[in-house]
Amino acid sequence: MTIDAPIDAAPPRAPVASPIASLLTAPILPMLLRLAIPNMIAMVGSTLVAIAETSYIGRLGTIPLAAIALVFPFAMLTQMMSAGAMGGGVSSAISRALGAGKRDRAAMLALHAAIIGLCGGLFFMVMMLVFGRAFFTLLGGRDRVLEEACGYSQVLFSGAIAIWLVNTLASVIRGTGDMRLPSMTLIGASLVQVALGGTLGLGLLGVPQFGMPGVAAGQLIAFTSAAIFFLWYLLSGRSRLPLNLRAFHFERAMFFDILKVGAVACLSPLQTVLTILIFTKILSTFGTEMLAGYGIGSRLEFLLIPITFAFGIASVPMVGMAIGAGQLKRARRGAWTAAAASGLTVGLIGLVVALDPSLWVSLFTRDPGVTAAAHSYFHWAGPAFVFFGIGVSLYFSSQGAARVGGPVLASTARLLIVAIGGISLVMAQAPAWTLFALVGGAMVVFGLSTAASVALRPLGQMSAGM
């Protein structure tokens, strides 16, 4: 495995203060589970929010449901980039500094990370407020559907800075090994979002019904409140890494330490969203039943992401601190343990639904055509879920080691396989099941390529931009 230190991080360094020190000394698997479970709970909470919001919007009518489908890829991209990609870069830089015993550097990195979060949120806000209508039109939005999508998007992305700040500051705290407080805060924000989104969107408790903009306002208010709380917590001295604004001074190297991981890692969620959009477009040529069957299958994939994310993001401070402290063997063990736990958990679920798809499919439909399509998807893609779990977990572990180039290239391979292979199959008039087999094969390639990039890279080698 090649989750190894940069050239300048070889000899063991002075021990760091507890409780951070436990990440360098505690048994790996119990520590991993202790870090992963709070993240898993928080991610499940986020998933339930998505389900609740879909329920609200469904009560508003079919047109709002169609509108949210246009906005969802961009909302998902915002969250994935700020929490998983750039957030992983933030946690990686801070954990490596703490592992090396450089607390002052870690605190300065946190302040620079907040600036990156502000800039990332500002970019998404401007991009979606200015070009959102054009994006939705390109995806097929017309008439009332387009107007509803724009109304929801304008409110949602007005709070893009809050979304990026919440995920960035949560990543700062996670970089210290504290997973509980970010998770509790995000769960609280989820409850606020569900309550306010439903009240404002549907007009409950005598409040005027604001429709789609009201549902979006629930998230805006919830994330703004969470951002304010995180800022207070970090500046009040209560965190493991107290911040001091008066000591701040601009350092280009600090930005580079974060961006050399986060900026490259941002390519992965972008490729993931493109893969979903391209495959959905290709599959739509096979008819509504086939598309609906895939939708049922991909919904389970969406629910599995919290598991892979929880194990993966838990490995970032474990690997990062071990790298910073020069404990390369521990970094390796931590990364592979997280990958094994993620792959085993997700793989077992995939195997179960591959053997008996009706356990999941029957929850959503009795239509024979849709059921047959969903069963075909699980038969071909379900056994490949194990590789998806391994690949995503190692992607995060590689962030902890500041080595994300290989996993990003693996994600690129997955995108190319789905795009080129899918178009080729459609042109050859291949049966629909071949597309599902293609998806499963792309997952296998992604997982194996990521594992190979982590296992085979020589010690001490540091490629540019990684």
Residue 425 pLDDT greater than 70, yes or no: yes
The yes-or-no verdict on residue 410 having pLDDT over 80 is yes
Whether residue 110 has pLDDT greater than 80: yes
350 contact partners, CB below 8 Å, separation of at least 6: 381, 382, 383, 384, 385, 386
Q: How confident is the model at residue 19 (pLDDT cuts 50, 70, 90)?
A: low
Per-residue confidence band for 463, with pLDDT thresholds at 50, 70 and 90: very low
Least confident range of 45-59, 126-140, 247-261: 45-59
* Dihedral over Cα of 56, 60, 65, 70: its sign: negative
Nearest-angstrom CA–CA distance, 40 and 44: 6
What is the mean predicted confidence (pLDDT) over 193-205?
A: 89
- When pLDDT is cut at 50, 70 and 90, the band that residue 139 belongs to is confident
14 pLDDT above the threshold of 50: no
What's the chain's average pLDDT? 85
Confidence at 165, pLDDT banded by 50, 70, 90: very high
Q: Choose the weakest-confidence range: 99-108, 298-307, 407-416.
A: 298-307
Between 13 and 381, the more confident residue is 381
**Count of CB atoms situated within 10 Å of the CB of 249:** 7
pLDDT of residue 250: 86
Which comes out higher in pLDDT, residue 181 or 291? 181
Q: Which of the pair, 21 or 430, is modelled with greater confidence?
A: 430
Q: What pLDDT is recorded for position 48?
A: 75
DSSP class of 17:
P
Mean pLDDT value of segment 208-229: 92
- pLDDT over 90 percentage in the chain: 35
Q: What is the pLDDT of residue 447?
A: 95
- Nearest CA among 408, 412, 120, 95 for reference residue 264: 408
Q: In this structure, what token pair is assigned to residue 164?
A: 């990026």
Residue 456 pLDDT class (50, 70, 90 cuts): confident
Average pLDDT, stretch 154-166?
94
Tokens of 375: 């069963």
pLDDT of residue 40: 82
pLDDT at 346 exceeding the cut of 80: yes
Return the pLDDT at 6. 44
Please state, in angstroms and rounded to a whole number, the distance separating the CA atoms of residues 340 and 440.
19
The three-state secondary structure class of 163 is helix
Tell whether the model's pLDDT for residue 214 goes beyond 70.
yes
pLDDT for residue 464: 35
Kindly state the average pLDDT of the residues 48-61. Answer: 75
Question: Please, which pLDDT band fits residue 17 given cuts at 50, 70 and 90?
Answer: very low
Query: Whole-angstrom Cα distance, residue 341 to residue 180?
Result: 20
pLDDT tops 50 at residue 8: no
For residues 112 and 140, the model is more confident at 112
Query: Does pLDDT of 200 surpass 60?
Result: yes
In the numeric block, the tokens 């202790």 are attached to: 34
Instruction: Please tell me whether residue 182 adopts helix, strand or coil conformation.
Output: helix
